[in-house]
Amino acid sequence: MHFSETLATTTHRVFEGQMNEHDSLFGGQTVAWLDENASIAAHRLARRGLVTASVDHMEYVTPVAIGDAVIYQSVVSGVGTRSLEVFTKLVGEQMDSGERYLAGWSFMTFVTRTPDALPTLEFDSAFGQRLNAGYAERRARNKALRDAAPITRDDISML
């Protein structure tokens, strides 16, 4: 499969009930929409059940205002044996002027629930190649963070 074939795009209009106390789009809403769109890109490559393993990085660049639209563009940026990484760009659009701006970007990891290896991915654009060039380093950093976590699956009490 080609990198470009994993592209998933969705657009949402921002309404009053989705705002935070700073009159910008609530981060929880942003991440919910992020997970939905990124999962489509991931599933386009895997063509099997996946679960969200982590939001590896979420960078908010420009606040999204009420009445604006936010466009999510997700692509698979790296593939391991049983996990894959998805890059998502969030583009805001001021609906009255049509002006677009970078609202944010993210890397997420999804994991297959089956033991079979994931398909390979051919990076058919310069942008895809740039994203994939940093995949091994990001994957190693994520593993180091997991290994150094001060908590295990058995730690369910805060005291």
Q: What is the DSSP letter of 71?
A: E
In the chain, the domains with their CATH numbers are 3-145 (3.10.129.10)
Report the predicted TM-score, pTM, of the whole model to 2 decimal places. Answer: 0.94
pLDDT value at residue 159: 72
CA gap 141, 135 in Å, rounded: 10
> Could you list the pLDDT tens digit for every one of the 159 residues in the chain?
999 999 999 999 999 999 999 999 999 999 999 999 999 999 999 999 999 999 999 999 999 999 999 999 999 999 999 999 999 999 999 999 999 999 999 999 999 999 999 999 999 999 999 999 999 999 999 999 999 988 887 888 877
Instruction: Provide the strand spans (E) within 26-114.
Output: 50-60, 69-79, 83-93, 100-112
Q: What is the DSSP letter of 38?
A: H
CA gap 99, 60 in Å, rounded: 18
Coil vs helix vs strand at 120 = coil
CA gap 120, 69 in Å, rounded: 34
pLDDT value at residue 109: 98
pLDDT value at residue 151: 84
Residue 42: HSE in the Cβ half-sphere, 13 Å Cα cutoff: 26
Q: Where are the alpha helices (DSSP H) in the chain?
A: 27-46, 126-133, 135-147
